């Protein structure tokens, strides 16, 4: 897929980060378009965090360059800081300040006029469901609420792009759902987001494009469905028969079937051609006197795909 660089809010070209003899990032290039969620995925130590830290000025760039809205992240670092919002993996706002005070302080540091600061803080607190807790100290919030406030703080100055490092890390299912909903809403409002996360499934659901980084290099990049079709033609069919499931070996013998696993009364059929295998399964059931009780077709799991891509790289 060709990308028009003019349409990109962030352009990274050949970024290299060396710590002594260790090369943490080795020539990483990508761009993030306006209003898209771009996921940077990779195993621990792959170079995700070093890449993001270079982009936001918390680590020096060894080689290469990056621009945000056309401004060089090194030469124009003060201007760049006005254009970026950063949500670190730790919720690191100020413990003794209230929710409102934390946002107002961030607003002050970005030079937002007083009246506007209050207006934006109120708007963000309401958006993240924290208005009722505005006078509570940061240290008294739950982990999920701390996360929400940390994201709110990154948005107070209306940045062109927000870097989010593991935004849902350590949160329960409900909090994660709420937060992903908010992140999707931010995208609808036109905010670009660079997301780094270990949660590949969630990233594949929410990101417009993803890049998979391993050993400091980008090994795959594209829309989630593009990666699925490029790296795996496999599909997964979950099927159950009545009165009982046939032997795994019988199903494995069907055309197109790569392998079959049985788990909790369900056969998980991995196939190279899902449509043809569904037909074969129906024919098989009819011919052997089985009834198809459950049939569910889905693409290859995001985590499996991720492991495959990383493994191949």
175: helix, strand or coil: helix
Q: Work out whether 79 is an interface residue with another protein (CB under 8 A).
A: yes
Identify which range of 99-107, 166-174, 210-218, 229-237 contacts another protein by CB under 8 A: 99-107
Q: Work out whether 92 is an interface residue with another protein (CB under 8 A).
A: yes
Give the residue, chosen from 5, 19, 116, 225, that forms a contact with another protein under the rule CB under 8 A.
Answer: 19
Residue 41 or 106 with smaller CB distance to another protein = 106
Give the residue, chosen from 11, 93, 194, 236, that forms a contact with another protein under the rule CB under 8 A.
Answer: 93
The structure tokens listed for 264 are 């909790």
Residue 95 or 225 with smaller CB distance to another protein = 95
With beta carbons less than 8 A apart as the criterion, state whether 28 and 217 touch.
Answer: yes
Which strands form 22-33's sheet, in the order they lie side by side? Answer: 22-33, 8-19, 63-68, 71-72
Reference 29, options 16, 20, 42, 45; nearest CA is 16
Identify which range of 57-65, 194-202, 218-226, 298-306 contacts another protein by CB under 8 A: 57-65
Identify which range of 80-88, 211-219, 239-247, 250-258 contacts another protein by CB under 8 A: 80-88
Residue 19 CB, shortest distance to another protein, in Å, is 7
Give the residue, chosen from 5, 7, 60, 312, that forms a contact with another protein under the rule CB under 8 A.
Answer: 60
Q: Work out whether 217 is an interface residue with another protein (CB under 8 A).
A: no
Residue 11 CB, shortest distance to another protein, in Å, is 20
Q: Which residues of 44-76 are buried (b: 16+ CB within 10 A; e: fewer)?
A: eebbbbbbbbbbbbebebbebebbbbebebeeb
Angle at 47 between CA 110 and CA 210, to 5 degrees: 80
Residue 172 CB, shortest distance to another protein, in Å, is 22
Identify which range of 31-39, 40-48, 95-103, 250-258 contacts another protein by CB under 8 A: 95-103
What's the maximum distance between 2 C-alpha atoms anywhere in the chain?
76
Identify which range of 25-33, 108-116, 228-236, 254-262 contacts another protein by CB under 8 A: 108-116
Helices 143-155 & 114-127 angle (0-180, nearest 10): 140
3-class SS shares of the chain: helix, strand, coil, % to 5: 40, 30, 30
Angstrom distance (rounded) from CA 63 to CA 43: 23
Q: Work out whether 47 is an interface residue with another protein (CB under 8 A).
A: no
Reference 66, options 1, 156, 158, 161; nearest CA is 161
DSSP letter (8 states) at residue 245:
P
Angstrom distance (rounded) from CA 141 to CA 144: 8
Give the residue, chosen from 34, 35, 64, 110, that forms a contact with another protein under the rule CB under 8 A.
Answer: 110
Residue 64 CB, shortest distance to another protein, in Å, is 16
Before 243, cis peptide (omega within 30)?
A: yes
Residue 41 or 104 with smaller CB distance to another protein = 104
Angstrom distance (rounded) from CA 14 to CA 191: 25
Give the residue, chosen from 3, 35, 65, 82, that forms a contact with another protein under the rule CB under 8 A.
Answer: 82
Identify which range of 54-62, 141-149, 182-190, 218-226 contacts another protein by CB under 8 A: 54-62
Residue 102 or 240 with smaller CB distance to another protein = 102
Residues making contact with another protein (CB under 8 A): 19, 56-60, 78-79, 81-82, 84, 86, 88, 90, 92-97, 101, 105-106, 108-111
């Amino acid at each position: 897929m060709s990308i028009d660089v003019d349409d990109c809010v962030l352009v990274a070209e050949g970024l290299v980060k060396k710590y002594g003899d260790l090369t943490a990032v080795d020539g990483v290039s990508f761009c993030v378009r306006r209003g898209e969620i771009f996921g940077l995925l990779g195993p621990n130590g792959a170079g995700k965090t070093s890449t993001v830290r270079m982009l936001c000025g918390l680590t020096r760039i060894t080689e290469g360059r990056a621009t945000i809205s056309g401004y060089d992240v090194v030469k124009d670092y003060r201007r760049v800081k006005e254009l970026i919002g950063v949500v670190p993996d730790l919720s690191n706002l100020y413990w003794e300040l209230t929710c409102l005070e934390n946002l107002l302080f961030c607003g002050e540091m970005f030079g937002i006029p007083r009246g506007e600061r209050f207006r934006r803080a109120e708007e963000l607190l309401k958006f993240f469901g924290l208005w009722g807790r505005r006078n509570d100290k940061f240290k008294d919030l739950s982990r999920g609420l701390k996360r929400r406030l940390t994201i709110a703080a990154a948005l107070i100055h209306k940045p062109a792009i927000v870097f989010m490092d593991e935004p849902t890390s350590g949160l329960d299912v409900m909090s994660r759902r709420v937060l992903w909903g908010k992140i999707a809403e931010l995208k609808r409002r036109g905010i670009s987001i660079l997301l780094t996360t270990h949660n590949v499934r969630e990233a594949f659901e929410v990101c417009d494009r993803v890049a998979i980084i391993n050993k400091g290099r980008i090994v795959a990049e594209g829309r989630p469905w593009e990666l699925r079709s490029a790296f795996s033609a496999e599909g997964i069919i979950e099927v159950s028969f009545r009165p009982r499931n046939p032997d795994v070996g019988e199903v494995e013998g069907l055309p197109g079937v790569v392998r079959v696993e049985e788990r909790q009364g369900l056969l998980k059929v991995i196939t190279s051609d899902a449509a043809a295998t569904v037909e074969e399964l129906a024919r098989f059931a009819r011919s052997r006197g089985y009834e198809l009780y459950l049939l569910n077709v889905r693409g290859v799991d995001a985590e499996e795909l991720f492991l495959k891509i990383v493994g191949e790289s």
